[in-house]
Amino acid sequence: MKIGRRRVAAALLLAGISHVAAAAFPDKPLRLIVPFPAGGAADLMARGMAQRLGEELGQQVIIDNRGGAGGAPAAEAAAKSPADGYTLFFATMGTHAINPALYPKLRYDPVKDFAPISLTHITPRVLVVGPSVPARNVADLIALAKAKPGALSYGSAGNGSSSHLSGALFESMAGVDLLHVPYKGSAPLLTDVLAGRVDMTFDSYTVYEEHIKGGRVHALGVTSVNRMNALPQVPTLSEAGLKGYDVSNWLGVMAPAGTPASVVQVLHAALGRTMATPALRQQLVALGIEPTFGSPAEFGNLIRSELPKWAEIVKRSGATNE
């Protein structure tokens, strides 16, 4: 009986310790892997969110930028990280919906290897042309491209990125031949667009806002179904003649698969308070970004529904990761 009581007492003690440990999460800084270099659109969104999330959790959220290959290496690194809630991943439409169709030897599964926490950002792309391109509307750009097949270049944030696929879809629907120039993120691409070394891009308004307003580049169209509040005078590509064109990039926070449900709940609640912050929401809306929030299940369902959609778009557009 004494041995039995000791065992019960020990079990209760361990249960109490486990409860305290779970309740203490997080007790050290967290890491948020961002699949693009510093300075790009995804990085800017991640940093604003991470700062506020850290305040909600009472621990710093450190950004870990890992650009290149459409975010595939970053996603793989996140998937293979310890499932303890201290490593998070800023997943994108590229890493979790487009890459599986572009990379036949992808070394992570976008569904099985991750625990969704919430969708956080939705942002359309903006078709921006550099200072050396004379076109001031989509029709003129298409005419220019048809007159000089393969002469006009468009930069992207990397092979397989949503900006890459946006351009490939544009080529397919407009019947033009453009030269794709992949970069390791939006920041180095911006430099070359401004310098005229690459003619155009399909990138985030966040990166090009001040340059559009300053007249250093020109926004010809937006990739979403509806116009952006931040650019009400700029038509959608569908309105501009490419009927049915629609690319609305989405981003959200995930953890490695196997992360305890109790930890996911803590992160989900803190992320919900983060994305509801009025100042953060106002800042994002001004940049043409829709802040959003939902359940882990909703985010998981979105990814599963997007996979076949983008597989078909990739096939139809002829985009590859070569």
Shared domain for 40 and 140, answered yes or no, is no
Exposed (0-12), middle (13-18) or buried (19+): which is 310, by Cβ within 10 Å?
A: buried
| First-to-final CA distance of the chain | 71
The count of structural domains within the chain is: 2
Q: Where are the beta strands (DSSP E) in 59-146?
A: 61-65, 87-92, 114-129
H helix and E strand count, the chain = 12, 10
| CATH number of the domain encompassing residue 196 | 3.40.190.10
Amino acid at position 194, single letter: L
Query: Which residue, of 203, 222, 241, is where some domain finishes?
Result: 222
In a domain, 263, yes or no: yes
Report d(CA 314, CA 102) in Å as an integer. 7
Residue 72: the pLDDT is: 92
Domain span including residue 170: 124-222
Residues 65, 30 within the same domain: yes
Q: Is residue 63 a part of any domain in this protein?
A: yes
- Tell me, yes or no, whether 297 lies in a domain: yes
Model confidence pTM above 0.85: no
Please enumerate, as own/partner, the contacts of 228-231 that have beta carbons within 8 Å and a separation of 24 or more.
Answer: 228/124, 228/126, 228/288, 229/285, 229/288, 230/205, 230/285, 230/286, 230/287, 230/288, 231/126, 231/205, 231/288
The per-residue pLDDT for range 158-176, each reduced to its tens digit, is 777 788 889 989 999 999 9
Residue 77 sits in the same domain as residue 97: yes
Give the CATH number of the domain where residue 80 resides.
3.40.190.150
Give the CA distances from residue 181 to residues 95, 106, 168, in Å, rounded to whole numbers and listed in that order. 19, 22, 12
Same domain, 118 and 129: no
Does residue 227 form part of some domain?
Answer: no
The rounded distance, in Å, linking the Cα atoms of 295 and 43 is 23
Residues 164 and 264 in one domain: no
Q: pLDDT value at position 322?
A: 57
Does 270 share its domain with 296? yes
Domain match, 113 and 19 both: yes
State whether residue 120 is helix, strand or coil.
Answer: strand
Query: 218 by DSSP, 3-state: which?
Result: strand
254, 278 contact by CB (below 8 A)? no
Q: How far apart are CA 170 and CA 91, in angstroms?
A: 24
Judge whether 238 lies within some domain. Answer: no
Q: Which residues pair with 222 in a beta bridge?
A: 126, 236
Q: What is the pLDDT along the chain (322 residues), one digit of tens a residue?
A: 444 455 444 444 443 443 444 458 999 999 999 998 888 778 989 999 999 999 999 999 999 999 888 889 999 999 999 999 999 999 999 899 999 998 888 999 999 999 999 999 998 899 999 999 999 999 999 999 999 999 999 999 877 778 888 998 999 999 999 999 998 878 899 999 999 999 999 998 888 999 999 999 999 999 998 898 889 999 999 999 999 998 888 999 999 999 999 999 999 999 999 999 999 999 998 888 889 999 999 999 999 999 998 998 888 777 776 5
CA-wise closest residue to 267 among 19, 8, 32 = 32
Are residues 115 and 253 located together in one domain of the fold? yes
Q: Are 128 and 118 in a shared domain?
A: no
Token pair 């050290």 in the structure block, residue: 28
My answer on whether 136 and 212 are in the same domain is yes
Quick check: is 136 in a domain? Answer: yes
Residue 239 lies in a domain: no
Which of the listed residues 184, 204, 222 is the one where a domain comes to its end?
A: 222
Q: What is the per-residue pLDDT across 254-293, written as a single tens digit (0 to 9) for each?
A: 999 999 999 999 999 999 999 999 999 999 988 888 899 9
Position 8 scores a pLDDT of: 42
